[in-house]
Chain A
Amino acid sequence: MTVKVNRFKCGYCGACVSVCPPGALELIETWIEVDETCTDCGICAKICPVGALEVPK
């Protein structure tokens, strides 16, 4: 499982990328990509200024 990014909420600021321990996130142009190294730790979801990220339960 990987974190889900709501592209309709995301402001593509890259804050989530900076806190991701395995470096699974990447900001490309106006969207966030998540690769398979995501551990579902949820740190990105916590710090997102708009709440655009969600760890699937």
Chain B
Amino acid sequence: MKDRYDVIVVGAGPGGSMTAKTAANAGLDVLLIEKRQQIGDPVRCAEGVNKKYLKEYIQPDPAWISAEVKGSKIYAPDGAMVEMSEEIAGAEVGYVLERKVFDRALARDAALAGAEVMVKTRATGLLMEDGFVKGIKAEHMDEKYNIRADIVVGADGVESKVGRWAGIDTTLKPKDICTCAQYLMTDIEIDTDFCEFYVGQKIAPLGYVWVFPKGNNMANVGIGITGHMSGEVRAKELLDDFVLKRYPGGKVIEFIVGGVPICGTIERTVANGLMLVGDAARQSDPVTGGGIFNSMWAGDIAGKVAANAIKHSDVSAEFLQEYETKWRVGLGRDLDMSLVVKERFTRLTDDELNTLGHSLEGIDLGNTTLIGLLWALFKANKKLLWDLRGIFKGIKDLEMESSVEVNS
């Protein structure tokens, strides 16, 4: 470890490693720190990712692909099922990853690109001078260090402190976090071609249960509920209820927990000498909770903007605004649309969910886009259209595809 770098990236998840790799590839002197001693472990994720987009950033490797799926099946409380192909099912369907291996592969890529990686190294504060972030205070093996850098990137996950230290309030309210528990189960009957989702206020208050195949007769069986519904009952208890009913003979071989930001876009993600990436920037999707690809995509932009900023010797918030603008244009609108959809769909009663489920049951949604799917929903359920009109206003510059034929 040196005492100064061009860029320090805090957190070696997919967002941090992508940032480090991109910045190092651009010729910058990069330090990537990870507070855990093992990158990627324990996992806090259902591990689904859209394979089409992922390929843009890493060559698919069987070592970190547990399973491939064709689409999603969504189950209403009474069992009505809606099937969606990979294209419309959202960014969380395609590969089911082995995150422990995947995250390490991304960190290795960053290292091979020239970044220095330090594990078991935790940021404990920022070095600030004249309103600029100038590096980090860090701890490694019970020793304290001050490490200087022109730019610090906070990719420190849901529990991010880097933003807060720089004056960006990233605190999540209970309604802004999805609190999750997951078992890796084996010896259960699963549909290996599909990711399954179970919705309903009883089964998962303001959330859902997921079953993602992991290959070899295994699956990630997990639940996420919105934070303000937690307390009297908790994610783990609800997961136990589901597992007892659905997979009574199933065996649990791993247990993980996690929190996912579902707040939509926050006010800002840059400051003088600082950028936030991934869950730290609250870039995860409010409906699906998915964030692997979002983080990697944003990290790539952050790495490029860092290189540009250092080339121009200007790391001010104004210059780094390029990152903020780019990620908001490419992703911010999706997140905000998702937030509107979430706010509406999470208010549906189990009866309403059943009605929705039955209105789409048996309809071939094979080539429908997400907008087409929503449109099909609206045609069957006019009341929803009014509640979600904001989305359509928000995307009026997109082709509406409202003429999509839904074949019954």
Interface residues of B in 361-393 (CB under 8 A from A): none
Determine the chain B residues whose CB is within 8 A of the CB of A18 once the complex forms: 158-160, 170-172, 177, 259, 261
Q: Are B174 and A15 in contact (CB under 8 A)?
A: no
Query: Given the interface contacts A29-B35, A29-B36, does A46 sit within 8 Å of B230 by beta carbon?
Result: yes
A26 at the interface (CB under 8 A from B): yes
Determine the chain A residues whose CB is within 8 A of the CB of B44 once the complex forms: 13-14
Q: Are A28 and B122 in contact (CB under 8 A)?
A: yes
Interface residues of A in 4-57 (CB under 8 A from B): 11-21, 23, 26-29, 43, 45-51
Q: How far apart are the CA atoms of A50 and B259 in the complex, in Å?
A: 11
Determine the chain B residues whose CB is within 8 A of the CB of A17 once the complex forms: 158-159, 161
Contact of A26 among B37, B161, B174, B258 (CB under 8 A): B161
Contact of A19 among B157, B227, B235, B256 (CB under 8 A): B227
Contact of B172 among A19, A45, A51 (CB under 8 A): A19
Q: Are A49 and B179 in contact (CB under 8 A)?
A: yes
Q: Are B230 and A47 in contact (CB under 8 A)?
A: yes
Q: Are A49 and B236 in contact (CB under 8 A)?
A: yes
B180 at the interface (CB under 8 A from A): yes
Q: How far apart are the CA atoms of A16 and B234 in the complex, in Å?
A: 14
Q: A-facing mask of B245-283, CB < 8 A → 1, else 0?
A: 000000000011111010000000000000000000000
Q: Which residue of B lies closest to A15 (CB)?
A: B259
Q: Are A47 and B259 in contact (CB under 8 A)?
A: yes
Q: How far apart are the CA atoms of A28 and B161 in the complex, in Å?
A: 12
Q: How far apart are the CA atoms of A52 and B172 in the complex, in Å?
A: 19
A47 to chain B, nearest CB (A): 4
Q: Are B159 and A14 in contact (CB under 8 A)?
A: yes
Contact of A20 among B42, B171, B255 (CB under 8 A): B171
Q: Are B258 and A19 in contact (CB under 8 A)?
A: no
Q: Are A13 and B171 in contact (CB under 8 A)?
A: no
B15 to chain A, nearest CB (A): 15
Q: Which of A11, A14, A45, A49 has the most CB of B within 10 A?
A: A49
B137 at the interface (CB under 8 A from A): no
Q: Are A15 and B179 in contact (CB under 8 A)?
A: yes
Determine the chain B residues whose CB is within 8 A of the CB of A29 once the complex forms: 35-37, 120
Determine the chain B residues whose CB is within 8 A of the CB of A51 once the complex forms: 234, 236
Query: Given the interface contacts A49-B235, A51-B234, does A14 sit within 8 Å of B259 by beta carbon?
Result: yes
In the complex, the 10 A-B pairs of residues with the closest C-beta atoms, listed nearest first:
A15-B259, A14-B159, A17-B159, A11-B257, A49-B235, A47-B227, A13-B257, A46-B231, A49-B257, A13-B258
25 of the cross-chain contacts (CB-CB < 8 Å) are A11-B181, A12-B42, A13-B158, A15-B158, A15-B177, A15-B258, A15-B259, A17-B159, A17-B161, A18-B159, A18-B160, A18-B172, A18-B259, A19-B171, A19-B172, A19-B227, A19-B259, A20-B171, A26-B159, A45-B231, A46-B227, A47-B231, A49-B234, A50-B235, A51-B234
Known: A29-B35, A29-B37; 19 extra A-B contacts, CB below 8 A, are: A11-B257, A13-B257, A13-B259, A14-B259, A18-B177, A18-B259, A19-B172, A21-B171, A28-B122, A29-B120, A45-B231, A46-B230, A48-B179, A48-B234, A49-B181, A49-B258, A49-B259, A50-B235, A50-B257
